[in-house]
Amino acid sequence: MKTVKEQLAKSLKQVLKKWGYSFKETFINISYPKISLYGDYTTNIAMKLAKELGEPANTLAEKIIAKLRAAKTLKSIFAEIKVERPGFINFYLSKEFLNQQAAYLLSLKRDLGQRNIGKKKKVQIEFISANPTGPLTIGNGRGGFYGDALGNVLKKCGFRVVKEYLINDAGKQIEALGHSVLKDEQAVYHGNYIDELHQRFCGRKDFYKVGQEAAEIILEKYIKHTIEAKMKIKFDVWFSEERELRKTGAIEKILTWLKRHGHLYEKAGAWWFKSSVYGDSRDRVLIKGNGEFTYLAQDFAYLRNKFTKRKFDKVINVWGADHQGDVAGLLNAAKVLGYEGKQEVILQQFVRLIKDGKEMRMSKRAGNYVTIDELINEVGHDAVRFIFLMFSPSTHIDFNLDLAKERSNKNPVYYVQYAYARIASLLRQPELKVDTNQRKKPTEIYYKHPAELDLIKEVIKWPEILEEISQTYQVQLLPEYAIGLADKFHQFYDQCRIISQGQVNWSRVKLVYIIRKVLSEILGIIGVYWYYSKFVSFL
């Protein structure tokens, strides 16, 4: 079944095509008004077209509305369509449509948010991919939770998703780790884990071999354990640079190809990629003067592995903001290899940890960093994941430890989980434990209380939210929507009696079942638990 947004966009497109106006699908922007007074859906299409068509936006909006009111599909959905200055077109859902939607949602056997817009296209999300030189920091954690939740959304929308971790187990960082473990004059990394590894490798001389063995230990003992046990992320692929790209000769092969096709030139003993030809601010070194490969040389080989060998339709890299300078090189590498438009990079801004009103400084090399393990141990997995996901990737996070540890409605994840706990408690009431046949007996469904209708309005947004995230990668819409739905449920719970003097309003019980199903879907995609026994004492 098409969503309200889809039906509205289709009708707008038909109206404008009759006027001979052609445009891209993305030209029509339909959103939710921030104030309910202005309807349930709104579009600024009249303002976008006014100048081009030479008419005032308000006048154009009225003409569009006249055509929309004649559309049979929209008559059954909206009770009213209005113009609001300076030219917004606002749509108000009808009670009849909302009740039909409630009945439809109750009849669904599949997940309410399930979509098939991905059409089984194969998408790889590569995230975290921290060098195996130490424990994961809270910055690594942010990208980890984001990549995991984005992958869950894409799966729900019908994409075939592969979550992948690139293990940089070769090169300069492995040399630096070896020197650090041996504690020689070229040591770079410090911390308790380095002291422990030093005890194990003390007396060895081959710093690179030591670095490789130490990296394997760090990967298994710290990184994989943290990701799987603490962060609750399951990668489909752990991709080794050493085994898959170095030992197979994949890097040398792609460099030979680049040279043969004129994409490289030699200067001062190094080989440079002509990245500036494709709009970059500078050319990029692929082979240093001493013969070492750069990260970008590895990226070229990795790109070919992803697109040619494994045939991904889209690749999404989730990087920290400190890699911003590397984005242009990667995108241009994809371009010269013939994969333009298939490679995307999402940068995650920095996280500041605030404790007792002060920022806690972090530095992996100095050894005074905060690991994601420590943060999760301090405040819990759900709070860390949920709060991290509340922010757009382009926004810095000030993570407030005091708020994250709150066990009250001030804590956003607690507020959402409390909604589910209320539902669980309600559905355990003895009045609802009646004969199975009686409970399944058809009930006339007609909702008219404002809190009931607001709840249904919020529920039908769910597939629309998923579709929007699958296109924009704005994962922060997940917790935002979860909070909004929980808010509407708490209002409904407080204003609408479900059990009164032993009598059950079965129509409202069915609405509660819908909310339980949607909440469980949302929290499952976000990756947090939906219910804890700790809430029961508050109910």
At 372-403, the pLDDT tens digits run 999 999 999 999 999 999 999 999 999 999 89
> The tokens of 87 are what?
């030219």
Question: Are the CB atoms for 162 and 170 separated by under 8 Å?
Answer: no
* Helix 95-107 vs helix 450-459: crossing angle, to nearest 10: 60
Give the largest Cα separation in the chain, rounded: 88
CA distances from 37 to 32, 469, 482, 496 (A): 11, 26, 22, 22
Q: Is the pLDDT of residue 246 over 50?
A: yes
Structure tokens at 85: 């200055």
Residue type, 427: L
pLDDT recorded at residue 70: 81
The residue with tokens 């382009």 is: 394
Question: What domains can be seen in the chain, in order of their start residue?
Answer: 4-93 (3.30.1360.70), 122-348 (3.40.50.620), 412-538 (1.10.730.10)
Q: Which amino acid is at 173?
A: Q
Amino acid identity of residue 437, one-letter, is N
In this structure, are strands 78-84 and 88-93 parallel, antiparallel, or unpaired? antiparallel
The string of DSSP letters for 275-314 reads: GGGGT-SS-EEEE-TTSPBPHHHHHHHHHHIIIIIS--SE
Measure the CA dihedral 183/186/190/196, to 10°: -30
Token code pair at residue 487 = 């808010």
Among 524, 515, 521, smallest CA distance to 424 is for 515
- For residue 437, what pLDDT band results from cuts at 50, 70 and 90? low
Helix (H) or strand (E) holding 511: helix 506-526
Phi-psi map region of 119: left, alpha, beta (phi>0 left; psi -120 to 50 alpha)? left
Mind listing the pLDDT tens digit for each residue in 172-199?
A: 999 999 999 999 999 999 989 999 999 9
DSSP assignment of 84-109 equals ETTTEEEEEE-HHHHHHHHHHHHH--
Return the higher-pLDDT residue of 147 and 356. 147
Are residues 106 and 98 in contact, defined by beta-carbon separation less than 8 angstroms? no
The C-alpha angle 518, 115, 80, rounded to 5 degrees, equals: 70
Mean pLDDT of 273-296: 96
Is pLDDT at 366 greater than 50 in this prediction? Answer: no
The pLDDT of residue 364: 47
| DSSP conformation class of 70 | T
- Averaging pLDDT over each range in 45-49, 75-79, 316-320, 377-381, which range is the top one? 316-320
Q: Note the pTM of the prediction, 2 decimals.
A: 0.93
Encode 308-324: b = buried (16+ Cβ within 10 Å), e = exposed.
eeeebebbbbbbbeeee
Q: Please compute Rg for the chain using Cα positions.
A: 28
Q: Residue 436: is its pLDDT beyond 90? A: no
Split at pLDDT 50, 70, 90, the class of 13 is confident
| 3-class SS of residue 10 | helix
